[in-house]
Structure 1
């Protein structure tokens, strides 16, 4: 899902926001950069090519977004991966003021699968059915213990939507009424939009409409907590 992974017949990398289909991999329109095999499959380029085709097919069969090549962003260890300073300061203040230990989670540790969702990778198994990654069951259990769960972040059409979708799937399997505990901050998220190239606004709206239909609440950070439907009143009054 980064340009360096793919090359065309001339050896050029795809531009960011390029969508790569399984059909294009089969036809050779996009191929694995041979340099990737040394690090990812011990030099076995054929195995990596088989995996890449399987991966794109799994995305399409599962109703996911197609494989999209993204610009390099939020790279582990880089400034783009760090918390925004104001958010980090707020978390630290809350830690001290309330004696509450924060839980900072990492996602996307496996380079062979995207991780839009913070709860589960896009693809769980390889071509032979072998597991390549797994859901973050402990985080799911932790989140569902709270009386209220407020969701914000980027991007509304991708990481936020996929995280909430995975959470909703777990809620519906356990207790659909738990959906009423989830609050989606509409003004603290936005969809992926690259003018003239891609616009995921419609997909973001469709996802949030589905979440609301399941019982989750679409709210704004500027709304008083006591106006939020189903919000736990003692907490709202204390806040």
Structure 2
């Protein structure tokens, strides 16, 4: 592996302002498009269609809701500024490796109000909703009726069939327990479809758009998390696939799985290291092992472009995140820094 390099200003378009990465603003698309085309000519950036090695950058949930201080689920990590620092490095990584990255695939966590992990879905005997971030709902909680499904959401979710909704909720938390998943966590309303929190971080969106124009490679957005009956940390599959009646509840993202398996190199970063990033990598590793375990060696994890969920005084998933990455490395995946050029990894 190469020595780390210092970011040179000549490799990054002059408009990029690292001080704005933690802010929300409008990307000036037309202006950036003209600059990207001029940049491609000046720096001999070839169209991605001519790449001999096809390299995919998979960016997990680089959205305002997780990445902007003060938003619903800001991933501060242990430093308290984790996602902002991660995204600055992601932007620099994209610009510095513009000639090498074939395709960028950003995932978008996408939610509406009435979903199984939001407060409105559950009530206690007083009709109170669970406190988000501080509440997890176990199988025992449901069996003892400490938390029960809010009957008022049945009209919107199951056409008023409350019994059906209760059966599903019980099956869901039971399945999570049996599969060794995280317990059902009640999250604050976040990544709300149509809201500002759902949007990509502006600085990262700008870098992705610049790549799209300069390399003439369509950005591929992947939606996850819009099923009201299951969590969906991983972009490759929801937490629970089958309903209580053995009918499909949701489906794996078979098209994306196959696509990732076919790339020569897959690079992964984003938020959060302990949840959506770790779950995505874990699911990708599962699929890889079913085909050829050696394929894990083509996966590179940007260690300095992802942070764990840490809520001071409430939860700290740093250890779980680090243990997951250690396991991924043991399976053959590479743990790398964004400050290293892609070409040097592959030598």
Residue 153 of structure 2 is matched in structure 1 by 36
Deviation of residue 225 (structure 1)? Answer: 3.0
Count residues in correspondence.
230
Deviation of residue 16 (structure 1)? Answer: 1.1
- Report whether the alignment pairs 1:122 with 2:239: yes
From 90, 100, 118, the counterpart of 1:2: 118
- Trace 1:182-201 onto structure 2 (pairs within 5 A): 182-201=299-318
Instruction: Supply the distance in 1 between the matched residues of 2:271 and 2:169 (Cα, whole angstroms).
Output: 26
Q: For residues 86-110 of structure 1, give each alpha carbon's deviation from its aligned partner in whole angstroms, at most 9, with x where no partner exists.
A: 1111111111111111111111121
Residue 175 of structure 2 is matched in structure 1 by 58
Unaligned residue ranges in structure 1 (runs of 5+)? 234-239
Secondary structure, counterpart of 1:103 in structure 2: coil
- Trace 1:12-51 onto structure 2 (pairs within 5 A): 12-17=128-133, 18-51=135-168
Residue 48 of structure 2 is matched in structure 1 by none
Residue 153 of structure 1 is matched in structure 2 by 270
Residue 194 of structure 2 is matched in structure 1 by 77
- Trace 1:104-123 onto structure 2 (pairs within 5 A): 104-123=221-240
RMSD: 1.0
Q: For residues 59-108 of structure 1, give each alpha carbon's deviation from its aligned partner in whole angstroms, at most 9, with x where no partner exists.
A: 01001000000011111211111111111111111111111111111111
- Report whether the alignment pairs 1:208 with 2:346: no
Deviation of residue 22 (structure 1)? Answer: 0.7
Q: For residues 111-141 of structure 1, give each alpha carbon's deviation from its aligned partner in whole angstroms, at most 9, with x where no partner exists.
A: 1011000010000011111101100000011
Of the two, which has the highest radius of gyration?
2
Q: For residues 204-227 of structure 1, give each alpha carbon's deviation from its aligned partner in whole angstroms, at most 9, with x where no partner exists.
A: 111111100000011111223344
Instruction: Supply the distance in 2 between the matched residues of 1:219 and 1:78 (Cα, whole angstroms).
Output: 33
Deviation of residue 48 (structure 1)? Answer: 0.7
After TM superposition, the score normalised by the length of structure 1 is 0.93
Secondary structure, counterpart of 2:323 in structure 1: helix
Residue 19 of structure 2 is matched in structure 1 by none
Secondary structure, counterpart of 2:255 in structure 1: helix
Which of the pair has the greater relative contact order for Cα pairs under 8 Å at 6+ separation? Answer: 2
After TM superposition, the score normalised by the length of structure 2 is 0.65
From 175, 200, 219, the counterpart of 1:102: 219
